[in-house]
Amino acid sequence: MSDERMAGIIARFDERAADYDDSAMHRALAEAVAGFADFDQVGTVLDVGTGTGLVLRAIAARHPSLRLVGVDVTPGMLAVARRELPAAEFIEGRAEELPVADAAADLVTCVTVLHLVADPAAVFDEFARMLAPEGTLVTATFAVRPEHGHGAGAATPGYTPNHAPFQTPEALAEVAAPAGFVLARHETVDVGDDRVLIAELAPVD
């Protein structure tokens, strides 16, 4: 990813960090993801693009004994995450080259992040590398809601979000396939003004 694009993302989310948890949409989505994911056989959860750790906090409330690790590129978001969930481990890093060992996670979550990355194929390769055998990936991505858009993605200084590859189950399956994932199940939820596709992807046997 270009330094300019990454700098734009970090600047945007550093600015949002203090108020990010006020987003009822992101809090509700974190709960929906924690309710959707299957935690059978899960010991370690890795949340990529964890932000302020909302998803890990929702998981911790339901499954207090799990080992929880979050990775994000924005220091301000991670500072909130560390304050709010001191029991988890939070690491500064990029989704495209995650500072996590091979096969380290039984469940990888990635919630409203994929539209921000420049090279989704590299990110899915990283998901595959870090997942233990039998592990699963849960993504949440903005779907099309005709009355509200999310079609083109609004330009923000330094980067332009790209929603199109993740808006339908078919499109998501196509992006994930080269890294060896198949779409196992999915649901669509409306949270606030947004429609979100929550999907479980499993490595091909």
Ligand X SMILES: C[S@@+](CC[C@H](N)C(=O)[O-])C[C@H]1O[C@@H](n2cnc3c(N)ncnc32)[C@H](O)[C@@H]1O
Footprint on this chain of ligand X (rule: CB under 6 A): 9, 13, 26, 30, 49-51, 54-55, 72-74, 77, 94-96, 111-113, 116-117
| Smallest distance, ligand X to C-beta of residue 66, A | 17
Residue 30: name the closest of 146, 182, 196, 166 by CA.
Answer: 196
Nearer CB in complex with ligand X: 59/116: 116
* Beta carbon of residue 62, minimum distance to ligand X (angstroms, whole number): 16
Dig out the tokens for 121 from the structure. Answer: 């194929």
Of the pair 134, 187, the CB lying nearest ligand X is at 187
Alpha carbon distance 201, 75 (integer Å)? 29
**Considering beta carbons, is residue 86 or 133 the nearer one to ligand X?**
86
For residue 185, the minimal CB distance to ligand X (Å) is 20
Q: How far is the CB of 71 from ligand X (least distance, A)?
A: 6
